[in-house]
């Protein structure tokens, strides 16, 4: 797995450069590297030479040291001055370039959470991997929902911190189709080393197709399948297993319908509401024997996605009712044009904008997700986007 030094060849320090500014960064790195290496060799060899040449020994007559040499002093001042000014010139030019995204760059938001990445696209699509079109500048707005993380893509020579309560900006333009490593470069707790993902650089056409599909989310899949997909897409795999094996969090196998012990000794039978609460606000009920480290998903997961997770959890348990074959709205199709009713959407009850009606909303809960505005008539991605924002409370 680990390549040998010879295989690495050119790539001893870094993988092959795959962004527009990576070449310049490398060039400057090697300039500084070779200047330093050269200076080290010259200084150490002169030192060794002088130590031998002028060492005290019988018969050797001490000479007086020269007090001053204008020529020599100018030489050792001017040569480093030129070297340092060139480093400054190249470095400053690159710095300005890297710090200023082009106006027409495509904007993607990065949300870092212990210990996963979420990339959010202008059309509302989200993905745990960063998909980008080739040869197009991409502007990243980086944020963190908990502690400081750092987005690092070695092949692009791109590294930028994700800091809670502020936004950072970075940009890059990928030059070649392929998959590149992406990881967190700021120690952020137990699973820091597992906080990795990848950048998928695609031809623009392929990227658009991917984006359209990603915007559909999981709403057009059967719930159990959607739940399985969300299990990894939402980063739950970092801490939970589906096969009974132990991890930072309890396994999902045989969870639904079984009894769990909470810290404090209280026992509770796992049902829909308990799972919903465990996802949105994990610290409300902490399972005995586990630490309260699960990040709250409030505002980062839609009701429909929670339903999908619940149905999938049912499919993993021997004590659960049979999971639904379809999202509940599908079993009760509304006549076309019933857009004003709760639960309906302009794209039909099963459309991407379909409303969550299950598990039932708490009585008196504000139905902010009922979209009866004039925009409800508009078709396509705008509707979808607004609808998705509606159900997630617009917290993103
Ligand atoms: C950083 C680690 C981490 C991540 C990521 C995480 N969890 Fe958890 N989860 C835990 C831990 C630890 C517990 C047990 C302590 C507690 O109840 O808060 C837990 C508890 C739960 C429980 C209650 C389990 C039980 O046995 O009663 C559910 C349900 C759950 N998580 C679902 C999820 C889902 C769904 C996701 C992804 C959307 C997720 N978790 C992501 C760490 C995590
Ligand atoms: Cu991190």
| Interval between CA 150 and ligand 1 midpoint (Å) | 24
Q: For position 65, what pLDDT does the model report? A: 81
The residue whose C-alpha atom lies closest to atom 28 belonging to ligand 1 is 278
Model pLDDT, residue 36? 93
* Residues sharing a CB contact under 8 Å with residue 313, sequence separation 6 or more, in sequence order: 227, 252, 255, 256, 275, 320
Confidence (pLDDT) at 223:
86
- Ligand 1 center–CA 314 separation, angstroms: 16
What stretches of the chain adopt beta strand conformation (E)?
A: 106-113, 116-120, 126-127, 130-133, 137-144, 149-153, 158-162, 168-173, 178-184, 196-202, 259-261, 267-269
Backbone angles phi, psi at 367, to 5 degrees: -85, 65
| Ligand 1: residue whose CA is nearest its atom 8 | 294
- Ligand 1 binding pocket (C-beta < 6 A) is 114-115, 234-236, 238-240, 248-250, 255, 260, 270, 275, 278-279, 282, 286-287, 290-295, 297, 309
Q: Whose CA is nearest to atom 7 of ligand 1?
A: 294
Reported pTM: 0.66
Checking if the pLDDT of 51 tops 80, the result is yes
pLDDT level of residue 2 (50, 70, 90 thresholds) = low
Nearest residue to 291 via CA among 331, 311, 263, 320? 263
Higher pLDDT, 383 or 80: 80
For residue 111, the ligand closest to its alpha carbon is: 2
Question: Residues 132-145: pLDDT tens digits?
Answer: 999 999 999 999 99
In this prediction, residue 182 has a pLDDT band, given cuts at 50, 70 and 90, of very high
Give the pLDDT score at 381: 45
Confidence of residue 350 (pLDDT cuts 50, 70, 90): very low
Residue 293 CA: nearest ligand 1 atom is 12
110: CA distance to ligand 2 center in Å?
Answer: 12
Q: Which residue has the higher pLDDT, 327 or 222?
A: 222
Are 316 and 322 in contact, with CB atoms under 8 Å apart? no
pLDDT, position 3 = 52
Q: Average pLDDT, stretch 6-10? A: 50
Give the best-scoring range by mean pLDDT among 53-57, 155-159, 233-237, 369-373. 155-159
Q: Whose CA is nearest to atom 29 of ligand 1?
A: 275
Pocket test for ligand 1, best of 278, 283, 290, 292 (most atoms within 8 A of CB): 278
Average of per-residue pLDDT across 228-243: 88
Residues 6+ apart with CB under 8 A from 156: 18, 19, 22, 172, 174, 180, 199
Residue 308, both tokens: 């999908």
Q: If pLDDT is split at 50, 70 and 90, which confidence band does 392 have?
A: very low
Q: Is residue 379 scored above 50 in pLDDT?
A: no
Residue 380 has pLDDT above 80, yes or no: no
d(CA 155, CA 19): 7
Ligand nearest to the CA of 305: 1
């Amino acid at each position: 797995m680990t390549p040998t030094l010879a295989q690495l060849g050119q790539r001893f320090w870094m993988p092959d450069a795959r962004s527009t500014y990576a070449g310049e960064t490398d060039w400057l790195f090697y300039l500084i590297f070779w200047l330093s290496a050269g200076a080290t060799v010259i200084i150490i060899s002169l030192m060794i030479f002088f130590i031998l040449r002028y060492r005290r020994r019988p018969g050797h007559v001490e000479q007086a040291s020269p007090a001053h040499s204008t020529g020599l002093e100018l030489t050792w001042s001017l040569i480093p001055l030129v070297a340092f000014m060139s480093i400054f010139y190249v470095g400053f030019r690159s710095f300005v370039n890297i710090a200023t995204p082009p106006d027409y760059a495509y904007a993607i938001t990065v949300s870092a959470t212990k210990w996963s990445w979420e990339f959010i696209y202008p059309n509302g699509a989200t993905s745990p991997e960063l998909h980008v079109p080739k040869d197009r500048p991409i502007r990243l707005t980086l944020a963190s929902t908990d502690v400081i993380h750092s987005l690092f893509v070695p092949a692009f020579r791109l590294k930028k911190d994700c800091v809670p309560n502020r936004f950072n900006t970075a940009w890059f333009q990928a030059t070649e189709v392929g998959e590149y490593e992406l990881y967190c470069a700021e120690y952020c707790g137990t699973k820091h080393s597992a906080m990795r993902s990848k950048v998928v650089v695609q031809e623009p056409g392929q990227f658009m197709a991917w984006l359209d599909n990603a915007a559909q989310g999981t709403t057009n899949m059967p719930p159990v399948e959607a739940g399985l997909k969300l299990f990894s897409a939402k980063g739950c795999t970092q801490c939970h297993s589906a096969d009974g094996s132990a991890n930072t969090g309890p396994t999902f196998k045989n969870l639904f319908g079984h009894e769990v012990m909470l810290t404090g000794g209280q026992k509770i039978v796992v049902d829909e509401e308990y799972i919903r609460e465990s996802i949105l606000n994990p610290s409300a009920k902490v399972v005995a024997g586990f630490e309260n480290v699960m990040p709250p998903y409030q505002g980062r997961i839609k009701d429909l996605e929670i339903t999908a997770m619940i149905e999938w959890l049912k499919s993993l348990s021997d004590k659960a009712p049979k999971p639904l074959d379809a999202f509940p709205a599908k079993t009760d199709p509304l006549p076309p044009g019933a857009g004003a009713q709760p639960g309906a959407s302009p794209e039909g009850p099963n459309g991407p904008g379909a409303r969550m009606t299950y598990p039932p909303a708490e009585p008196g809960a504000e139905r902010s997700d009922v979209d009866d505005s004039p925009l409800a008539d508009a078709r396509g991605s705008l509707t979808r986007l607004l609808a998705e924002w509606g159900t997630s409370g617009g917290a993103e």
